[in-house]
Amino acid sequence: MVQNIIDVRNLSKSFDISSKEPGLKGTIKHFFRRQTKSIKVIKDISFEIKEGEIVGFLGANGAGKTTILKMLCGLIYPSEGSILVSGYLPYRRKENFLKNITLIMGQKQQLIWDLPPIESFYLNASIYDLDKFEAKKRIKKLSEMLEIDEELFIPVRKLSLGQRMKSELLAALIHEPNILFLDEPTLGLDINAQRNLRKFLQKYNKETNATICLTSHYMKDITSLCKRVICVHEGAISYDGKLDLLLKKLSPVKEILIVCRSEEEAIKLENSCFTVKNRIKNEITIKIEKNSITSSLKTILNNFDIEDLYINEPPIDEVIGKVLIKKDYDI
Amino acid sequence: MIFKLINRKLLTLLKVQYSNMLEYRVEIALWAISGIIPFFMLNIWTNNNLNESINISDVMLSRYFLCAFFVRQFSVVWVVFSFEEDSLMGKVSPYLIQPLNPFFRYFAQHLAEQITRFPFALIIAFFFFIFNPESLWIPNLGILLLSIVSTFLSFLIQFLIQSIVACLCFWTEKASSIERLLFIPTLFLSGLLAPVVSFPTYVKSWIYLTPFPYLIDFPANLLSGNETNISGGLSMQILWIFLLFPLFKRIWSEGTKKYTAMGS
């Protein structure tokens, strides 16, 4: 049986935030009497993650996804509740725990800006107590997986965003962590770089059985990497489960574009019992429930003069977009 | 074993930071030149014959200010500014989840910068002796080694003081403004502008209870060959380090609980 590697119980986090009214009056008032209020950004959440799982955290900006990741990796202290990651309390930041994890933030870098990435790799290797031989071996292996070579010897400031991100990944993975926390790792990358990064993460997960917690606003990252998603809405979990179940629940119908041989035939189809989305001349789009698609198509093909038809899934971004604004999903 | 590991990590950090510092060698040369306050002060003191009031000859005074320049070059600390910037920009986050206290990075950065500064400081000293040939002297090896140790201890004290102030970033975002408050006593009481011996007796007795005279005055007097209590000075430096280090550890431990990982 696969063990839970992350166990979160009734976790909450509050931040003290000061507020200021606009204008000079507000500024003076703020100077003499600063008003702060405590805002609960994570509200009593609980979940477990199994070893080797890839879990996507979905939510709108400010929903609390990154705060959850920061608490899981021990960067910030929780206000209430308990977190156990790989048997450790993350916020204590014990050496053995830190050697087991890594955090990659798409918009932040740890590489030394003016030096080639290779210098940062050897530095990280020594921080994680790897000897030079082992470090060399791992750099070779990871650079092959990430398909970077010459870039290792070029100052970071001269690398493209994609090359830099690959180097960041290599620096963050040199100690071969068991748990990866990735906060928007593909942010700002072009389509090819995004695809390569996803391929690499899949391969890394397969080869090392590492657990990956991922946040991303690119749905392709989520759909191609994560079987399970945790949706966060205003600091609370609105859905925790399989991604395909969520998609089925959110979009139970498929759209079918049917090209009829004549406009009359299309009108005939429009007046039948199917749910019509729209009709333009002899082209008609209808919606069919996913579980009755075969029988419905059989009926259409037998009773109408059809030239061609296309079955379309609703765009994933549109479907997931619904999750980001809804509080609760019972599936 | 632990020391071996720390040393290996520190050595690698030092090598990497030295390579990084070499990228900024022109900047460092300018920084070295900007540290010539002691020479201005020497000029003020000698032109106004102020040294007569404290019974120090012109030669010994010029040696003192040259040594003050040297000690300052190898004990200057700016960790509060680096840490504040890194903390506000969220750059400190990746370092916090590595099994090495981020202050080791800043420590190595300072040491690397000192190594880079060294040749520039020597060049400045060379020109100083060209214009003041009567001040040329060669300290004996024992005194030189003790002065190096004392300068390093001075650096450690300043590094610890600034690191403590830097940790206040966890509570107030602008910890560097607190450091500016400390800059005034550091400037006046450390011996950078005037040897501490020139202060009135009752003021001196208080000054010697603070860490400030052990930052510049004591190591500079030691190196220049002026009369000084070597064992007393070194003991006070070590005492201050022993007082400041646990305080730093405590503030660091409490501060990281307050960390909000802003900007990341």
Q: Does residue A293 register a pLDDT over 90?
A: no
Please tell me the predicted confidence (pLDDT) of residue A328: 60
Alpha-helical runs (H) found in chain A: 23-32, 65-72, 95-98, 117-127, 132-146, 161-173, 191-208, 219-225, 243-250, 263-270, 293-303, 316-324
Question: Tell me, what amino acid is at A216?
Answer: S
Q: Does residue B238 register a pLDDT over 70?
A: yes
Please tell me the predicted confidence (pLDDT) of residue B146: 96
Contact B7/A at CB under 8 A: no
**Residue A119: closest CA among chain B residues belongs to which residue?**
B16
Q: Does residue A184 register a pLDDT over 60?
A: yes
Q: For strand A35-50 and strand A4-19, is the pairing parallel, antiparallel, or unpaired?
A: antiparallel
Q: Does residue B12 register a pLDDT over 90?
A: no
Taking the C-alpha atoms of residue A247 and residue A235, their distance in angstroms, rounded to an integer, is: 22
Cβ–Cβ < 8 Å for B73, B168: no
Q: Are B8 and A75 a contacting pair at CB < 8 A?
A: no
Q: Which residues in chain A have Cβ-Cβ distances shorter than 8 Å to B99?
A: 95, 98-99, 127-129
Question: Is A61 or B239 the better-scoring residue by pLDDT?
Answer: B239
φ, ψ (nearest 5 deg) of residue A29 = -60, -40
Cβ–Cβ < 8 Å for A100, A179: yes
Q: Does residue A128 register a pLDDT over 60?
A: yes
Q: Are A93 and B91 a contacting pair at CB < 8 A?
A: no
Reported as a pLDDT band with limits 50, 70 and 90, residue A148 is confident
**Residue A83 corresponds to which tokens in the numbers above?**
């977190």
Lowest-confidence region among A8-22, A122-136, A309-323? A309-323
Report for A217-221, A317-321, B242-246: range of highest mean pLDDT: B242-246
Q: Does residue B45 register a pLDDT over 80?
A: no
Residue-wise over A166-203: b if at least 16 C-beta within 10 A, else e? bbbbbbbbbbbbbbbbbbbbbbebeeebbebbbebbee
Residue-wise over A223-244: b if at least 16 C-beta within 10 A, else e? bebbebbbbbbebbbbbbeebe
Cβ–Cβ < 8 Å for A90, A170: no
Please tell me the predicted confidence (pLDDT) of residue A216: 87
Mutate: best of A38, A69, A76, A113, partner B, most B CBs <10 A: A76
> What is the pLDDT averaged over residues A47-65?
92
Contact A129/B at CB under 8 A: yes
Reported as a pLDDT band with limits 50, 70 and 90, residue A329 is low
Q: Does residue A34 register a pLDDT over 90?
A: no
Tell me which residue in A98, A115, A129 faces B5 most closely, judged by beta carbons: A129
Q: Does residue B26 register a pLDDT over 90?
A: no
State the average pLDDT for chain B. Answer: 87
Cβ–Cβ < 8 Å for B151, B219: yes
Taking the C-alpha atoms of residue A314 and residue A327, their distance in angstroms, rounded to an integer, is: 22
Q: Which residues in chain B have Cβ-Cβ distances shorter than 8 Å to A95?
A: 99
Taking the C-alpha atoms of residue B225 and residue B136, their distance in angstroms, rounded to an integer, is: 12
State the average pLDDT for chain A. Answer: 87
Tell me which residue in A77, A108, A122 faces B91 most closely, judged by beta carbons: A108
**Residue B170 corresponds to which tokens in the numbers above?**
């966890």
Q: Does residue B138 register a pLDDT over 90?
A: no
Reported as a pLDDT band with limits 50, 70 and 90, residue A330 is low
Per residue in A208-252, pLDDT (tens digit) is 999 999 998 888 888 889 999 999 988 999 889 998 888 877 777
**Residue B140 corresponds to which tokens in the numbers above?**
């004996």
Alpha carbon of residue B201 to chain centroid: 26
Contact B91/A at CB under 8 A: yes
Reported as a pLDDT band with limits 50, 70 and 90, residue A16 is confident
Please tell me the predicted confidence (pLDDT) of residue A41: 92
Tell me which residue in B13, B23, B94 faces A110 most closely, judged by beta carbons: B94
Tell me which residue in A108, A115, A126 faces B93 most closely, judged by beta carbons: A108
Contact A131/B at CB under 8 A: no
Q: Is B50 exposed, middle or buried (0-12, 13-18, 19+ CB in 10 A)?
A: middle
String of DSSP letters for A4-42: EEEEEEEEEEEEEEEE--SHHHHHHHHHHS-EEEEEEEE
Q: Does residue B5 register a pLDDT over 60?
A: no
Q: Does residue B49 register a pLDDT over 80?
A: no
Q: Which residues in chain A have Cβ-Cβ distances shorter than 8 Å to B23?
A: 114-115
Q: Are B13 and A123 a contacting pair at CB < 8 A?
A: yes
ipTM higher than 0.85?
no
Please tell me the predicted confidence (pLDDT) of residue B3: 62
Contact A271/B at CB under 8 A: no
Q: How far is A115 from chain B (nearest CA, A)?
A: 6
Please tell me the predicted confidence (pLDDT) of residue A163: 87
* Alpha carbons within 13 A on the beta-carbon side of A47: 23
**Residue A122 corresponds to which tokens in the numbers above?**
């050897």
Q: Which of residues 237-256 of B touch A (CB under 8 A)?
A: 256
Q: Are B259 and A75 a contacting pair at CB < 8 A?
A: yes
Please tell me the predicted confidence (pLDDT) of residue A327: 62
> What is the pLDDT averaged over residues A185-206?
86
Q: How far is A166 from chain B (nearest CA, A)?
A: 16
Q: Does residue B254 register a pLDDT over 90?
A: yes
Lowest-confidence region among A166-170, B39-43, B234-238? B39-43
Per residue in A90-123, pLDDT (tens digit) is 999 999 999 999 998 877 778 888 899 999 999 9
Q: Does residue A188 register a pLDDT over 80?
A: no
Question: Is A138 or B53 the better-scoring residue by pLDDT?
Answer: A138
Give residue B174's region: left, alpha or beta (phi > 0; psi -120 to 50). beta
Contact A169/B at CB under 8 A: no
Q: Dmax over Cα atoms in chain A, in whole Å?
A: 80
Taking the C-alpha atoms of residue A41 and residue B252, their distance in angstroms, rounded to an integer, is: 25
Q: For strand A211-215 and strand A179-183, is the pairing parallel, antiparallel, or unpaired?
A: parallel
Q: Which residues in chain A have Cβ-Cβ distances shorter than 8 Å to B16?
A: 112, 115, 119-120, 122-123
H-run or E-run covering A230: strand A228-233
Q: Does residue B144 register a pLDDT over 90?
A: yes
> What is the pLDDT averaged over residues A187-196?
82
Per residue in B220-233, pLDDT (tens digit) is 999 998 888 999 99
